[in-house]
Amino acid sequence: MTGDLDRSRPIWRQVAAIVEARVADGTYQPGSRVPGIVELSAEFNIAASTAQKALSHLRTTGVVRTELGLGTFVADK
């Protein structure tokens, strides 16, 4: 999947867009768990801080919600 990332643009924005697209197309259903920092880091071969920034953006925009100790989930619309 890393081949799909354009290293000339912010990586965290691209990862956030990919996760958001997966939510939109139903890959991640409302209420289902989305990959966390470790999983995103491994899938996209990115730093944990980059994955954290992508998830933080998705939280801020209301795409996902985080439950402390449980994980990150697709927000109910």
**How would DSSP label each residue in 6-72?**
-TTS-HHHHHHHHHHHHHHTTSS-TT-EE--HHHHHHHHT--HHHHHHHHHHHHHTTSEEEETTTEE
Q: How many domains does the chain have?
A: 1
pLDDT at res. 3: 56
* Reported pTM: 0.90
pLDDT at res. 7: 87
Q: Tell me the per-residue pLDDT of 29-44, one tens digit each, with 9 for 90 and over.
A: 999 999 999 999 999 9
pLDDT at res. 4: 79
Closest CA to 44 of 76, 18, 72: 18
Q: Which domain, by its residues, includes 19?
A: 2-74
- CATH number of residue 68's parent domain: 1.10.10.10
Positions of the chain with pLDDT under 50: 1-2
